[in-house]
C-alpha cells in the first residue's frame, strides 16, 4: 500500500519571493537620481559662476515672483487691519450713539415729584362718612385693630365699634359739625341711652369737630362719656395726647347712666 507523503506548507506562502536583482536595481536607480541631481546643481552653479548674466536673468523672475508674493501678503495684512479698524470704528460709533440716546431719554424723563410729608388732617373739611372713617383709622393706629365704621340708618348712636388693646369694648359717636354748631345735651342724652344698654360699651366716646355745650359736658361727666372736641381730636391725631380709652374709667368705676338733662 502506498503511503501518502505530506508536503510542508511554506511559511512564505502568499508572499512575493525576494528578488535580488530588483532590489539591486532599485538602489542603483536611487543612487543615479541623487548623483544626477547633484551633478545638475553643480553644473548650474558652475554655469552661473562662468556666465553670471544669464544666471541673473534666470533668477530675476524668481525673485520678482517672490517679491510680488511678499507684497501681496503685506497688502492683504494692511487691508485686513484697515477693515478691522473700520469695523471697530463703526461699532464704537454705534455704542456712542446708543449712549447719547439713552442720556437724552434720561434727561427727557420728567422728574418724580418729591413726596411731601403728610400734614395735619383738617377733620372739619371731611364729609360725615369720611370723618367716621378717619376716627376709625385713629383707633386702628393706636391698637384697636378691629375698629370698623357701623354708622348709618338705625345705628342707635354708634358710628364706630372697636376693641381696645386691653380688651374693652369701645363705642364712638362722630359729630362732624361746623365751628358754630356744637353738640348739645340732648345729643349726649340720646347717645347715653344706647351706648351702655344697647351696645354694651366699656368706653363711650363722642368726637365732635364743633365742640360741646357746657350742659352737654356736664351730662357727659355724670354718665362717664368721653367728649373730644377739635383741640382734643387734634392732640390725639398728632400724637400729643394718649388715646381716649387710656383716660377712661374702668367698668367697675363707671357711674350709673342718667337720662335726665340739666
Q: Compare 185 and 5 and report the one with higher pLDDT.
A: 185
Listed range (106-120, 154-168, 202-216) with the worst mean pLDDT: 106-120
Answer for the pair 215, 262: CB distance below 8 angstroms, yes or no: yes
Task: Tell me the CATH architecture of domain 123-253.
Answer: 3-Layer(aba) Sandwich (3.40)
Task: For Cα atoms 181, 257, 137, give the angle at the middle one, nearest 5 degrees.
Answer: 55
**pLDDT interval class at 72 (50, 70, 90):** confident
- Distance (Å, rounded) from C-alpha 172 to C-alpha 196? 12
Q: Grid coordinates 351702655 are at which residue?
A: 196
- Distance (Å, rounded) from C-alpha 220 to C-alpha 257? 10
Residues 174, 178, 184, 190: is their CA dihedral positive or negative?
negative
Report the pLDDT value the prediction gives residue 121, as an integer from 0 to 100.
79
Query: Would you say residue 230 has pLDDT above 60?
Result: yes
Report the pLDDT value the prediction gives residue 256, as an integer from 0 to 100.
44
Report the pLDDT value the prediction gives residue 184, as an integer from 0 to 100.
94
**Bridge partners, residue 207, by sequence:** 174, 228
Share of the chain above pLDDT 90, in %: 40
Q: Grid coordinates 501681496 are at which residue?
A: 72
Query: Would you say residue 55 has pLDDT above 70?
Result: no
**Bridge partners, residue 174, by sequence:** 207
Order of all β-strands in the sheet with 225-228: 148-149, 160-163, 169-175, 203-208, 225-228
Q: What size, in residues, is the chain? A: 262
State the CB neighbour count (10 A cutoff) for residue 106: 8
Q: Against a cut of 0.75, is the pTM above it?
A: no
Report the pLDDT value the prediction gives residue 101, as an integer from 0 to 100.
76
pLDDT, the chain, mean: 78
Query: Would you say residue 58 has pLDDT above 80?
Result: no
Q: Which of 130, 116, 118, 120 is nearest to 240 (CA)?
A: 120
- Helical pair 185-195 and 214-222, crossing angle rounded to 10 deg: 20
Amino acid at each position: 500500500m502506498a503511503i501518502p507523503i505530506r508536503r510542508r506548507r511554506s511559511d512564505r506562502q502568499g508572499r512575493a519571493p525576494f528578488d535580488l536583482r530588483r532590489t539591486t536595481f532599485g538602489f542603483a536607480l536611487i543612487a543615479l537620481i541623487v548623483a544626477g541631481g547633484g551633478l545638475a546643481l553643480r553644473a548650474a552653479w558652475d554655469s552661473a559662476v562662468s556666465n553670471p548674466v544669464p544666471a541673473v536673468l534666470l533668477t530675476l523672475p524668481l525673485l520678482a515672483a517672490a517679491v510680488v508674493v511678499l507684497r501681496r501678503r503685506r497688502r492683504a495684512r494692511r487691508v485686513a487691519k484697515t477693515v478691522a479698524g473700520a469695523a471697530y470704528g463703526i461699532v464704537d460709533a454705534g455704542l456712542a450713539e446708543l449712549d447719547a440716546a439713552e442720556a437724552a431719554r434720561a434727561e427727557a424723563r420728567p422728574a418724580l415729584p418729591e413726596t411731601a410729608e403728610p400734614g395735619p388732617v383738617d377733620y372739619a373739611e371731611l364729609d360725615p362718612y369720611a370723618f367716621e372713617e378717619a376716627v376709625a383709622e385713629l383707633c386702628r393706629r393706636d391698637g384697636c385693630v378691629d375698629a370698623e365704621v357701623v354708622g348709618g340708618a338705625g345705628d342707635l348712636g354708634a358710628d364706630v365699634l372697636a376693641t381696645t388693646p386691653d380688651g374693652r369694648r369701645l363705642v364712638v359717636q362722630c359729630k362732624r359739625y361746623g365751628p358754630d354748631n356744637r353738640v348739645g345735651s340732648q345729643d349726649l342724652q340720646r347717645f347715653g341711652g344706647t351706648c351702655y344698654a344697647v351696645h354694651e360699651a366699656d368706653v363711650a366716646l363722642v368726637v365732635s369737630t364743633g365742640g360741646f355745650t357746657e350742659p352737654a359736658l356736664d351730662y357727659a361727666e355724670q354718665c362717664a362719656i368721653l367728649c373730644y372736641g377739635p383741640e382734643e381730636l387734634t392732640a390725639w391725631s398728632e400724637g400729643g395726647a394718649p388715646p381716649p380709652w387710656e383716660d377712661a374709667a374702668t367698668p367697675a368705676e363707671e357711674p350709673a347712666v342718667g337720662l335726665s338733662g340739666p
